Amino acid sequence: MGYLLLLIVLILEIGFAIYCMVTKQKHKKIKDWMRISVFIAFVILTLSSVIVWSFRWVIPAILLFISAVKGTVSLLRNKTNNKKYKTSSIVWKSIMTIFVFIFAFGPAIVFPQHKSPKVNGKYEVATATYTYIDKNRTEEFTDKEDHRSVNVEFWYPNKENETYPLLVFSHGAIGIKSSNTSTYTELASHGYVVVSIDHPYHSFYTVSEDGTRALINTDYNREVSNANKEGIYSKEETYELIQKWMKLRTEDMNFVIDTILTKVKTDKNPIYQHIDTEKIGVFGHSMGGAASVWLGRERNDIDAVVNIDAPFFSELVYNKLVDEFVARDEYFNTPLLNIYSDDVWGQLDSNSTYVANKPNNEQFKNAYNVHFKGAKHLSLTDLPLFSPILANILQGGKADIDKYYCIETANELILNFFDDKLKGIGHFTPEETY
């Protein structure tokens, strides 16, 4: 919709400029009526829900409103324009107008209006956000001696007097807690309480209950970027970085789970009273998936794990004698579903940080491995829907798979897996390739 509206505005502007140059007149009244008409059309499209109002339309709306007011005032004044016609003036004004409108429609183009993935459950979904303060940890990313704070958002069935399994999500290396909103919504609509964590200074940005904002830490961002390049870090240095990243991630996740378990006993907030603490699952994308597998090995109260496109960092051992990563030799007992894109699937037979993910790893012989052919790393999040341009830039190109098919099918697989392992509903038998 952003592209279409911008195109219409540009066609009108360029067409009018050409008309003025051909007739060698300014046609000011026609310009004024064009301004008013475009704004009225924008209002009608908004009121009729063709344009779904959101942040992306604020700047275009303001610009079109100012333009319409200017045109209205000009028509009411009906002042004769005695200025001599100049082609250069027409061309210059048209160029400036085009640049202004391109800027104004930028948010609507970068973050296009899109339909939401299907939600198939019977429950109405409610949300709530909180900030948990960990008084046992000091924030390592600031100079202040503040306690570590973790921001969380809940998606849960808006129905009283029932309890549901708890699912805890961790975002990717530079993600945000809303990265897989369609997944949380689908799960909650089927009777799960989903809590997604923002890991401050690991997330791209996060906002606490008191309004405090935290952007991604520049040193951490540089570490992640360099770790994905050849020759920057040795394998030993990479291993040390992984341990540091996972320590923060797993401590955050453990803290959130333990806080929720305590609040179920002590807090009368209906959200906590909806939770069945005997049924807990964890899942995450990329680095968050790695942290989820880690918790699946560490905690006895985790009943199921979904790993979305991540290496098994918890299973990775650095062998200094041969300077290689090797897989941990210990059986993984927690039910596990691995969902992979092409970006990761092609690395599973390598001796990189994915060495423990190899499908023939006997320590994970009961894990489910699913491959989305044609998908890229971010295809397994909502970002290609929310901002195709950003997704393509971050993942190095456009995915071949249909973005709605990919995320909706992945959501269905995750739901069916948790239904089987946490609720005992159905029998989870996925295909290997989708």
Give residue 80's pLDDT band: very low, low, confident or very high (50, 70, 90).
low
The answer on pLDDT for 83 being more than 90 is: no
Give residue 399's pLDDT band: very low, low, confident or very high (50, 70, 90).
very high
Phi, psi (deg, nearest 5) at residue 11: -65, -45
The answer on pLDDT for 18 being more than 90 is: no
> Mean pLDDT for the chain?
92
pLDDT for position 198:
97
Residue percentage of the chain with pLDDT more than 70: 98
pLDDT for position 29:
84
pLDDT for position 79:
65
- Architecture per CATH, domain 125-423, reads as 3-Layer(aba) Sandwich (3.40)
Domain range annotation of the chain = 2-110, 125-423
pLDDT for position 387:
93
Reported as a single tens digit per residue, the pLDDT across 299-308 is 999 999 999 9
pLDDT for position 81:
59
Instruction: Give which of 95, 107, 37 is closest to 71, Cα–Cα.
Output: 37
Reported as a single tens digit per residue, the pLDDT across 235-294 is 999 999 999 999 999 999 999 999 999 999 999 999 999 999 999 999 999 999 999 999
Reported as a single tens digit per residue, the pLDDT across 149-200 is 999 999 999 987 899 999 999 999 999 999 999 999 999 999 999 999 999 9
Q: Which residue has the higher pLDDT, 308 or 101?
A: 308
Reported as a single tens digit per residue, the pLDDT across 125-155 is 999 999 999 999 999 998 877 899 999 999 9
Q: Which residue has the higher pLDDT, 322 or 82?
A: 322
Residue percentage of the chain with pLDDT more than 90: 68
The answer on pLDDT for 104 being more than 90 is: no
